[in-house]
Structure 1
Amino acid sequence: MAHATNRLSASGVKAAPVGKHADGAGLWLVKREDGGAQWVLRVTVHGRRREMGLGSFPSVSLKAAREAAEKARAVARQGLDPIKERERQQREAARNIHMLSDIALDAFESRKAELKGDGTAGRWFSPLELHVLPKLGRVPVADIDQRDIRDTLAPIWHTKAETARKAMNRLGIVLKHAAALGLDVDLQATDKAKALLGKQRHTVTNVPAMNWRDVPAFYQSLGGSVTELALRLLILTAVRSGPLRNLHVDQIDGDIWTIPAAAMKGRLGATSDFRVPLSAEAQRVIAEARKFARDGFLFPGAKRGVISDMTMTALMDRRGLSERPHGFRSSFRDWTAEATQTPHDVAETCLGHTTGGAVERAYRRTDFLEQRRALMERWSRMVSLETNVLRGLRAHG
């Protein structure tokens, strides 16, 4: 009936006293003692009365309240609960806002400070960017389940096992980041996906390394080009090729080479630089390399920048060797284990590895510099013995 609805007027709503005032058809204005007011709709769904808030007055006008009430009544006439339907729509809207690509980028930004060079090389993000986001980037993160992940990574799960493992790991971190943001995600989705994908058939192979007993002969065969001097110093210091190729003369102070913390892989979050003791032979190699220095870099590239990792690898290829420059770290580590009585922590620190648990590291202040200095001098003499003998013979010949 006409008199049962639209009982209130705009002016009447403003002047209404404290209490409940019916507009009709279940729409009520509830005026509070503090002066505020709330619109409430009473509807019956499946024989049960429900009260649905439609907003506060004056933010929601009388006209807007009536329109919202009519939409809710239409939902109820379909046999649906308008409150639950509104919550469902809100969840859908939230899922549509938080796409996986956006959450992945946000997770990456929040972790940049922990990554080498603030992640500028892109290695942390690239497994996601190349193998996950092209298929799942526009999917709401809350909708992603183990089947989505399985279907996405299945093409590379066995053929590119290490890349797939990294992509799965990064995706797990992104899902945890989404949960921290308060989003409704399945934190077990990656573990479930692994179960669906099965054990990887591909076996990760180690970088080919030269037997430490063969290193002296190889060292002796190296000449005095930029690449050969870089290889010499790589062998003598047992560092990774990245810090070595980017070695700047300002990093050298006497018999100490200081590598910035940000350049040390495996020491994420480290606040201190890494000191490398230089043996007498290492200092001699550095002195010889200084004549090639350009823009302060000890091992410059042919045209610009510094030599690449492939430059040293190519030299070994031309010698018919399957071993790789990075493998000399393993050569050194095997030598310490088989030919010396070096304590584990000292040997691992030579390689720039962190040892012990977080609590132990917090209390340990030493970097074993003096012990490492003696060990690296011993390694250097073993490696360069034949070279030094020949050098001495030439000097007296």
Structure 2
Amino acid sequence: MRALNKLTNIQIKNFATGKYSDGGGLWLHKRPDGGGQWFLRVSIHGRRREMGLGRYDSKGEFGASLKEAREYAEKWRSIVRQGKDPIKERERQQREAAKADYTLETVAEEAFEARKAELRDDGKAGRWFTPLKLYVLPKLGQVPVEDIDQRDIRNTLAPIWHEKADTAQKALNRLRITLRYAAAMGLDVDIQATEKAKALLGKTRHVIQNIPSMPWQEVPTFYDSLDKGTITHLALRLLILTSLRSKPIRFCRLDEIEGDVWTVPADNMKALKGHETDFRVPLSNEALSVIERAKPLARDDYLFPSQRRGVISDATMSRMMKRRELEFRPHGFRSSFRTWCAEATDVTDQVAEAAMAHVTGSKVERAYRRTDFLEQRRVLMERWADHVTGKSGEFARMVR
């Protein structure tokens, strides 16, 4: 048996440049600058392997002392006695340690950060991440992302797969994006795990329900009841008159309105997010009247500010309708308007869809269509205002 522990600290300190054996395959390579490097020579499966054990430091503060180097050497010699290549085993252990650092939660957060630019308000509302945060991460957040498989996903989403189907689908979608992001990072993940989990979960029994909308015949009575001149009442009136979603209403700025045209930035329009084209809204006389009433309440150029700072929240108008014990919600007035267009006017589908900022037709068709039907929409929205304010309940013919 080869002699062990042949070196002493004093010898090492006085060594010239060169390589010195401590026995058992442990060597020290002394450098000209006085520093040194430990390495271990072993034979495994008929091959000689040489692995570094770190730099030499007599105090063990910035490297391995003689005592520590001997401990490291014995650790890896024991691996050799087990018939394993010490270098490959160390690499395996390093991969395992790295894998533990990339949990599902850490990768999901990175994926969310990378995706923020594509989300409304840069994801500030938190809706993108919420399904993961509430239903997935509490169970799987600390699991290495490389270990996630379809059974893990199935077991996690099964409790809400039928009862909260929309949320479960969103969580599954976010997981799919997270796994693809992990694959792009070079991690060994199964990017098909979500599809496999979906197959295991089966078809959902949940029936998707549309947002309740007020019948268009009842809108005038409700509109008339919004008579207090508060920010909430005025915002709801403008929402009904323009048939827009709540975001452009809430973030309406006075400098966006010129004459009887309101130019809504594309970033505030769901269908136009990420596009360069803003959306022009023709304002009826009634809509202009609502804006004039709201101007004294404006703050920081926002027409509908909140009591504290910023603008009114997405839930402000909904809460008001809920307090009145109505089943309808603000977004439903878009359906009220669209049904009115279909049942009480002869407006074309193209103009009606354009009024709601819906993207219609193929890419080629849209490329050749160079109009937003502003003038036709101007007539349409004036007739809608007439209906809403109770001035006309007759069939509305549109001038072409």
Assess, with a 3 A threshold, how the Cα gap between structure 1 residues 55 and 386 changes in structure 2: closer, same or farther: closer
Letter paired with 2:194: T
* C-alpha contact (below 8 Å) 2:236/2:317 kept by paired residues: yes
Assess, with a 3 A threshold, how the Cα gap between structure 1 residues 53 and 148 changes in structure 2: closer, same or farther: farther
Query: What are the Cα deviations for residues 109-143 of structure 1, in whole angstroms up to 9, with x where unaligned?
Result: 11122222222221111222222222222111111
Secondary structure of the corresponding residue to residue 2 of structure 1: coil
Q: Kindly state the Cα deviation for residue 240 of structure 1 after the two structures are TM-superposed.
A: 0.6
* C-alpha contact (below 8 Å) 1:142/1:185 kept by paired residues: yes
* C-alpha contact (below 8 Å) 2:256/2:262 kept by paired residues: yes
Aligned residue in 2 for 1:378: 380
Q: Kindly state the Cα deviation for residue 385 of structure 1 after the two structures are TM-superposed.
A: 4.3
Identify, as 1 or 2, the structure richer in helix.
1
Q: Taking structure 2 as the reference length, what is the TM-score of the superposition?
A: 0.77
* Cα separation, 2, equivalents of 1:285 and 1:341: 25
Query: What are the Cα deviations for residues 237-266 of structure 1, in whole angstroms up to 9, with x where unaligned?
Result: 110112213323222111121223332234
Aligned residue in 2 for 1:43: 43
Query: What are the Cα deviations for residues 184-233 of structure 1, in whole angstroms up to 9, with x where unaligned?
Result: 11111111222222222222210012333444454455535334433322
**1:340 and 2:346 are equivalent in the alignment:** yes
* Cα separation, 1, equivalents of 2:219 and 2:375: 20
Q: Taking structure 1 as the reference length, what is the TM-score of the superposition?
A: 0.77
313-322 or 287-296: which moved more?
313-322
Q: Kindly state the Cα deviation for residue 327 of structure 1 after the two structures are TM-superposed.
A: 0.8
Secondary structure of the corresponding residue to residue 389 of structure 2: helix
* Cα separation, 1, equivalents of 2:327 and 2:54: 78
**1:166 and 2:175 are equivalent in the alignment:** no
Assess, with a 3 A threshold, how the Cα gap between structure 1 residues 13 and 41 changes in structure 2: closer, same or farther: farther
| CA RMSD, 1 decimal | 3.9
Letter paired with 1:253: E
Secondary structure of the corresponding residue to residue 270 of structure 2: coil
* C-alpha contact (below 8 Å) 2:154/2:198 kept by paired residues: yes
111, 114, 120: which is aligned to 1:110?
A: 114
* C-alpha contact (below 8 Å) 1:38/1:53 kept by paired residues: no
Aligned residue in 2 for 1:246: 251
Assess, with a 3 A threshold, how the Cα gap between structure 1 residues 26 and 222 changes in structure 2: closer, same or farther: closer
* C-alpha contact (below 8 Å) 1:237/1:276 kept by paired residues: yes
* Cα separation, 2, equivalents of 1:160 and 1:177: 26
Aligned residue in 2 for 1:325: 330
Aligned residue in 2 for 1:393: none
Say which structure, 1 or 2, has more relative contact order (CA 8 Å, 6+ apart): 1
Letter paired with 2:348: T
Aligned residue in 1 for 2:284: 279
* Cα separation, 2, equivalents of 1:3 and 1:299: 85
Mapping of residues 53-64 of structure 1, within 5 Å: 53-55=50-52
Letter paired with 1:43: S
* C-alpha contact (below 8 Å) 1:216/1:384 kept by paired residues: no
* C-alpha contact (below 8 Å) 2:53/2:69 kept by paired residues: no
Aligned residue in 1 for 2:268: 263
Q: Kindly state the Cα deviation for residue 53 of structure 1 after the two structures are TM-superposed.
A: 4.2
Aligned residue in 1 for 2:32: none
* C-alpha contact (below 8 Å) 2:163/2:206 kept by paired residues: yes
Letter paired with 1:2: R
Letter paired with 2:272: R
Query: What are the Cα deviations for residues 47-89 of structure 1, in whole angstroms up to 9, with x where unaligned?
Result: x324434139978999688765543331132233434433321
* Cα separation, 1, equivalents of 2:313 and 2:93: 54
* C-alpha contact (below 8 Å) 1:278/1:373 kept by paired residues: no
Query: What are the Cα deviations for residues 16-68 of structure 1, in whole angstroms up to 9, with x where unaligned?
Result: 7xxxx9997677999xxxxxx99674523xxx324434139978999688765
Q: Kindly state the Cα deviation for residue 4 of structure 1 after the two structures are TM-superposed.
A: 10
Letter paired with 1:136: L
**1:225 and 2:214 are equivalent in the alignment:** no
Secondary structure of the corresponding residue to residue 348 of structure 2: coil
Q: Kindly state the Cα deviation for residue 326 of structure 1 after the two structures are TM-superposed.
A: 0.7
Q: Kindly state the Cα deviation for residue 236 of structure 1 after the two structures are TM-superposed.
A: 1.7
* C-alpha contact (below 8 Å) 2:283/2:378 kept by paired residues: yes
Aligned residue in 1 for 2:398: none
* C-alpha contact (below 8 Å) 1:236/1:282 kept by paired residues: yes
* C-alpha contact (below 8 Å) 1:131/1:153 kept by paired residues: yes
Q: Kindly state the Cα deviation for residue 304 of structure 1 after the two structures are TM-superposed.
A: 6.5
* Cα separation, 2, equivalents of 1:360 and 1:5: 83
Segments of 5+ residues of structure 1 without an aligned counterpart are: 31-36, 391-397
Aligned residue in 1 for 2:293: 288
Aligned residue in 2 for 1:33: none
Letter paired with 1:124: W
Q: Kindly state the Cα deviation for residue 307 of structure 1 after the two structures are TM-superposed.
A: 4.5
Assess, with a 3 A threshold, how the Cα gap between structure 1 residues 71 and 360 changes in structure 2: closer, same or farther: farther
Aligned residue in 1 for 2:123: 119
Letter paired with 1:280: N
